[in-house]
């Protein structure tokens, strides 16, 4: 599996509009520098120790937009990292890298009701089982679009 990181979005405040950035520091155990969930003032509820970054596939966004006859841009889906050619559901429980940044897929990032506030009615259903992935950052590094996304081989893979 080799996919690609194609976009990065951060939001500096609760309810704020996500902005696209050309690169970002991913900080192990913390989150993305400048994102509201990484900042010290984030509430404990928002600083879950193993859910520091969210991913969504461009293919899921395109399918949802097509199904609803809409054209919402990726930032409206309120995830941090936009991927291409990656089955994010298959990364739950897996360790993988985006460039030099090592991540662990924790759980699916199912869409919540709030998403329809930023998009349209029906978006939750359109993204069912394809809302993205919550991840823990295991190894720090800098992310930028164009980096490869690769599954980290396990000792069993080498046998």
What is the domain partition of the chain in residue ranges? 2-152
- CA triplet 36, 136, 14: central angle to 5 degrees? 15
State pTM to two decimals: 0.89
Which CATH number does 2-152 carry?
A: 2.40.33.20
* φ, ψ at 81 (rounded to 5°): -120, 130
Q: Are strands 81-84 and 53-57 parallel, antiparallel or unpaired?
A: parallel
Asked whether the beta carbons of 5 and 88 are under 8 A apart, the reply is: no
Query: What pLDDT sits at residue 96?
Result: 98
Percent of the chain with pLDDT strictly greater than 90: 64
Q: Which of 14-23, 28-37, 46-55, 93-102 has the highest mean pLDDT?
A: 93-102
Tens digit of each residue's pLDDT (9 = 90 or more) over 92-104: 999 999 999 999 9
Work out the pLDDT band at 27, boundaries 50, 70, 90.
very high
Write out the H or E segment, with its range, that includes residue 102: strand 101-108
Task: State CA 2 to chain mean position distance.
Answer: 16
Query: What pLDDT sits at residue 54?
Result: 95
Asked whether the beta carbons of 105 and 54 are under 8 A apart, the reply is: no
* Mean residue pLDDT across the chain: 88
Percent of the chain with pLDDT strictly greater than 70: 89
Query: What pLDDT sits at residue 120?
Result: 80
The Cα–Cα gap between 113 and 90 comes to: 24
Q: Are strands 133-139 and 19-20 parallel, antiparallel or unpaired?
A: unpaired
The Cα–Cα gap between 109 and 90 comes to: 13
Tens digit of each residue's pLDDT (9 = 90 or more) over 56-94: 999 999 999 999 999 989 998 889 999 999 999 999 999
Work out the pLDDT band at 1, boundaries 50, 70, 90.
low
């Amino acid at each position: 599996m080799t996919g690609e990181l194609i976009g990065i979005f951060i939001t500096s405040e609760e309810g704020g509009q996500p902005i696209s950035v050309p690169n970002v520091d991913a900080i192990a155990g913390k989150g993305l520098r400048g994102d509201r969930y990484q900042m010290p003032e984030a509430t404990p509820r928002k600083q879950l120790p193993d859910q520091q970054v969210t991913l969504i596939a461009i293919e899921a966004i395109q399918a949802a937009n097509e199904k609803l006859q809409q054209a919402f841009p990726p930032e409206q889906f309120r995830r941090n990292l936009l991927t291409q050619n990656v089955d994010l559901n298959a990364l739950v429980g897996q360790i993988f890298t985006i460039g030099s940044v090592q991540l662990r897929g924790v759980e699916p990032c199912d869409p919540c009701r709030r998403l329809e506030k930023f998009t349209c009615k029906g978006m939750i259903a359109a993204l069912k089982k394809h809302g993205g992935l919550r991840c823990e950052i295991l190894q720090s590094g800098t992310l930028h679009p164009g980096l490869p996304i690769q599954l980290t081989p396990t000792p069993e893979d080498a046998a």
